[in-house]
Amino acid sequence: MPANSTLARTFARVVTNVAQRSPVRAQRPLRLRVARTAQRHRLVTMTSTSSPIAEKSVASEPRWDLEKHFGYASASDTKIDDEMTSIERACEDFKKTFEGKLDAELLEAIEAYEGIELTLTRALSYVSLSADTRLSDDNMQKRKASLMQRYGQASGNFLTWFNLELAALDEAVVAAQYEKSDKLRTYKPFVDEVRRSAPYNLSKEVERALSVRSSFAGKGKVVEFYGNELSRLKFDMDGKQVNMEVLLAKMTSSRDAAERAKCMKTLNDGLKDFERTAALSLNMVAGSWHIEMKERGFKTLRSQRNLSNNLPDDVVDSLLQAVGTTGVDYCKKYYALKKQILKHTQGLDKFTWSDRNASIDIGKGEDKYTWEQAVDLVRDGYNKFSPTMAKLFMDMVEEKRIDVPAQDGKRGGAYCSSSFGSGPFQLLNFTGTQRDVATLAHESGHGAHFILCYEQGILQFHPPLTLAETASIFGEMIVFRDLLEKTPSDEDRLAMIMSKVDDIINSVVRQCSFDQFEEKVHNARANGTLTPEELATAWREVMVNYYGEEGEVFDSYENTSQLYAYVSHFHNVPFYVYAYAFGDLLVGSLYGAYMKQPEGFEEKLLDLLRAGGTKDFVDAVSPFGLDPASPTFWSDALHAHLGGLMEEAEELSKKLGYSSQFFNALFGEVLVVRLFLHASRLGELLQGALLQRLSFGVVGRDSVVTKLRVQAGILFERLEHLARRNLRLGFFLCGFSRSLVLGRSLGALLLLLGLALSSYLLLQLLCVIQLPKRTSFSVVDLDAEFGKRDIAHSVACGENVLLRGPILRELANIVAEFGDQIEERREHLFAALGRALGGFGESDRFHVQTHAQAAQNFRHVLGHTLNEEGTSVC
């Protein structure tokens, strides 16, 4: 099958992440500051869900050949046990030999430590990878847990001291040892990383106790329980039990807004039963994090995470500030555009949260790709930018380092394991979709990055979090751009770009909104345990902060209150999520630099990747002319990464007639916006225009504004409904006929009609009926929303009334007939109005068929009540 442009339609949606299951990058476990080796055996990108695969694989091969690369016969091979026993002895000997002697034998200690990690990584990586393809095998899972527990005990008892003692060494002692050994200086990045933690370390005894107990008790076990229960969740959908990934996939792929909304409700309702488990775990994590922050002396909630990422607090704060302003502006602009396109192509009436990730399918239908075709597409895209990366990718394919097929009992999602000394290895669940090809491009970028930086050694090869996504996201981008250039159809190009922007918004803005939620929760947790209801409230507040109030962009946030419960990052790696925004925006800046100056860029990027963990963020990007210290660095990155794609999307949308810009140019922006907003919003805009442009000199301005808003909303309600219905029909016919002529013609006619009707209604609104001898006025509505006393109070207090429509004009004429009697005993008008309007029943609106009855009742009642005694209501 030739490389089809539809591939990139969902190209950016790489890995369905259990943390949010929105299109974001997959999680990499944090390199722990003290027991750093505890996770180095498996530095991976992955989604930690054991849910069964939702789709059937189109490939049964290839499978990774772990036995060949690791040298074990199987996970039960006794060779693994022998190596673990040897490692335990080596750990004990390490402590006996070097504890208290680092001031004189630092190089020897580091080399011994490195040897322990090499052996340990091989054994644990092999078992862990094998277990991920056999999740339903209880014996396999027990085997993995047993080995991890053995390592945890050995590390806590015999390795924890090393990081603590190294961090505590006097600077002069370390400098003196550097002077004696050139080889020791090659380990300087590792030494510097460990020593950064010195101000925050506790005593050896406390650190050892924390490390040993972590395998048996504490927040870790609660979080593990949360994760296990999350992976087992099932949801009742049309009488069938489905997992969460099925619901989330339908919300992306379905063209039926009602089905998407149903999936969102099913998900939210199902999570309601899970909310207490999620709240228990989140309270435990936030409470523990708060205590550790205080005990270790971190300044802010994020400082501990920032330290492990080698980032100053102010750099992260600047990132979050830029995303919270510039990023949010782009976010709202993008979803406004997407809302228009979905209205035109799917007849969408309301744009709700369940429509956020809906695919824009306006070109050819989705294709299926064989494994061989996917490999060709990624290889060709890589090769166009870097033959070196293309070769590394093909080496991974040919050496059987990728486990391809989707099958039951296999971990869901995708990841790339570094597995130093034997790796890298990719786990995929390939079903032949466009997303699967994108996943291959992303994870292969990680694999190429690992291979390039292995030369730095096991202690220094892994890139810092700030650079860990560089190759993977860049790999996606170059394949995406390669496919975009091959795509002649404007419809397909627009779909591809919208999908890419979808991904960036989710990776940047959405993840930073998660960070703000964490901040709210952790701050509140310091004052006590949070209930599920309080967590849901915090979740809603953050949604409003980043996406606006209901009606601003999304018409409804219905069925979203429980979604915080399945974001596993909150539990596993607090305050990690900004890393996704960091990585995406950095790659956006790098790609912008590449487009400006492609000559020599490949070699500079490969040098960055080869450096692994030996360079910090600032030093790594300086050869590209990027200055992270600049106060505008992150906003510039947003403009470079999102701005260009948004311009392309808007231009194509305008060209295809999907953008509101076409109608704005024809009839003026204000009218078009009013026609498409809800009636209450129409009224709000109208009252502003009236008060500002027509210079109403009113008494009680606030009251006037409030009442006029509702009144204008009523006036425009039918017009707005008519325009919506017929414009949807026009856009549907336009898409069906593949011609813009019909849609544009119908839209133009309807908008001209709307202009005429709105002019008529405006005249009705400005129809003022003067009651005798009154010098002030207020705007009132006989609608039940304000009640009947409003009208009577205005009249009885000597105010003129701005009345609406034929019925009110008729009532005013009746009042005029009684003239002087009203002037002398105006309180009786209140009684007459109240009794006459009772004839309207419980209706919230006046109806034409009741006008004659109302007028007759009013004339009769008013004449009768003027002969009775009354009391003023003023």
What does the DSSP assignment read for 112-175? HHHHHHHHHHHHHHHHHHHHTT-TT-HHHHHHHHHHHHHHHHHHHHHTHHHHHHHHHS-HHHHH
Q: Please give the structure tokens belonging to residue 767.
A: 């129809």
Q: Which amino acid is at 716?
A: F
Note the pLDDT tens digit of each residue in 595-645: 888 999 999 999 999 999 999 888 899 999 888 878 789 999 999 889 989
Q: What is the mean pLDDT of residues 428-442?
A: 86
Regarding predicted confidence, which is higher, 640 or 743? 640
SS (H, E, C) 387-407: HHHHHHHHHHHHCCCEEEECC
d(CA 334, CA 498): 9
Mean pLDDT, the chain, whole residue set: 75
pLDDT beyond 80 at 155: yes
Q: What would the DSSP string read from start to end of 264-312?
A: HHHHHHHHHTTHHHHHHHHHHHHHHHHHHHHHHT-SSTTHHHHHHTT--
pLDDT beyond 90 at 47: no
- Indicate the burial class of 29 (C-beta count within 10 angstroms; 0-12, 13-18, 19 or more): middle
d(CA 433, CA 764): 57
pLDDT beyond 60 at 509: yes
pLDDT (0 to 100) of residue 94: 96
**DSSP summary character for residue 600:** T
Residue 784: band (very low, low, confident or very high) from pLDDT cuts 50, 70, 90:
very low
Q: Please give the structure tokens belonging to residue 255.
A: 């063209």
Residue 486 to residues 374, 435, 489: CA-CA distances in angstroms?
16, 18, 9
8 Å CB contact between 126 and 64? no
Residue 785: band (very low, low, confident or very high) from pLDDT cuts 50, 70, 90:
very low
pLDDT (0 to 100) of residue 863: 64
pLDDT beyond 50 at 54: no
Regarding predicted confidence, which is higher, 368 or 267? 267
Say what percent of the chain tops pLDDT 90. 42
Regarding predicted confidence, which is higher, 27 or 378? 378
> What are the residues facing 802 on neighbouring strands?
779
Least confident of 12-21, 350-359, 580-589, 831-840: 12-21
d(CA 358, CA 343): 12
Least confident of 105-119, 217-231, 741-755: 741-755
pLDDT (0 to 100) of residue 749: 65
Residue 56: band (very low, low, confident or very high) from pLDDT cuts 50, 70, 90:
low
Residue 718: band (very low, low, confident or very high) from pLDDT cuts 50, 70, 90:
very low
Least confident of 20-24, 610-614, 760-764: 20-24
**DSSP summary character for residue 507:** I
8 Å CB contact between 743 and 733? yes
Residue 70: band (very low, low, confident or very high) from pLDDT cuts 50, 70, 90:
very high
pLDDT (0 to 100) of residue 845: 34
- Indicate the burial class of 492 (C-beta count within 10 angstroms; 0-12, 13-18, 19 or more): buried
pLDDT beyond 60 at 121: yes
Backbone angles phi, psi at 8, to 5 degrees: -85, 5
pLDDT (0 to 100) of residue 260: 94
> What are the residues facing 777 on neighbouring strands?
800
pLDDT (0 to 100) of residue 98: 96
Pairing state of beta strands 425-430 and 415-417? Answer: antiparallel
Pairing state of beta strands 777-779 and 415-417? Answer: unpaired
Q: Please give the structure tokens belonging to residue 618.
A: 């600032």
Listed in sequence order, the residues at least 6 apart from 759 whose beta carbon sits closer than 8 Å to its beta carbon are: none
> What are the residues facing 24 on neighbouring strands?
15
Residue 249: band (very low, low, confident or very high) from pLDDT cuts 50, 70, 90:
confident
pLDDT beyond 60 at 261: yes
pLDDT beyond 70 at 348: yes
pLDDT beyond 90 at 707: no
Element (H, E) at 213: helix 204-213
Q: What is the mean pLDDT of residues 384-404?
A: 95
Pairing state of beta strands 777-779 and 800-802? Answer: parallel
Listed in sequence order, the residues at least 6 apart from 438 whose beta carbon sits closer than 8 Å to its beta carbon are: 7, 8, 10, 11, 12, 13, 14, 476, 479, 480
pLDDT (0 to 100) of residue 742: 56
Note the pLDDT tens digit of each residue in 793-822: 444 443 333 333 444 555 556 655 655 555
Q: What is the mean pLDDT of residues 188-217?
A: 79
pLDDT (0 to 100) of residue 677: 38
Closest by alpha carbon to 296, among 167, 471, 460, 173?
A: 167
Regarding predicted confidence, which is higher, 341 or 670? 341
pLDDT beyond 50 at 28: no
Instruction: Give residue for tokens 């606030």.
Output: 702
Q: What is the mean pLDDT of residues 79-108?
A: 94
Q: What is the mean pLDDT of residues 494-509?
A: 92
d(CA 104, CA 174): 9
SS (H, E, C) 768-782: CECCCCCCCEEECCC
pLDDT (0 to 100) of residue 750: 57
pLDDT (0 to 100) of residue 862: 59
State how far Cα 220 lies from the chain centre: 26
Regarding predicted confidence, which is higher, 186 or 819? 186
pLDDT (0 to 100) of residue 151: 87
Least confident of 465-469, 472-476, 529-533: 465-469
pLDDT beyond 50 at 258: yes
The number of beta carbons lying within 10 Å of the beta carbon of residue 746 is 17
Regarding predicted confidence, which is higher, 602 or 756? 602
8 Å CB contact between 409 and 392? no
d(CA 166, CA 75): 35
Regarding predicted confidence, which is higher, 160 or 681? 160
pLDDT beyond 60 at 2: no
Regarding predicted confidence, which is higher, 327 or 369? 327
Listed in sequence order, the residues at least 6 apart from 542 whose beta carbon sits closer than 8 Å to its beta carbon are: 513, 516, 517, 520
d(CA 713, CA 685): 10
pLDDT (0 to 100) of residue 601: 94
d(CA 77, CA 80): 6
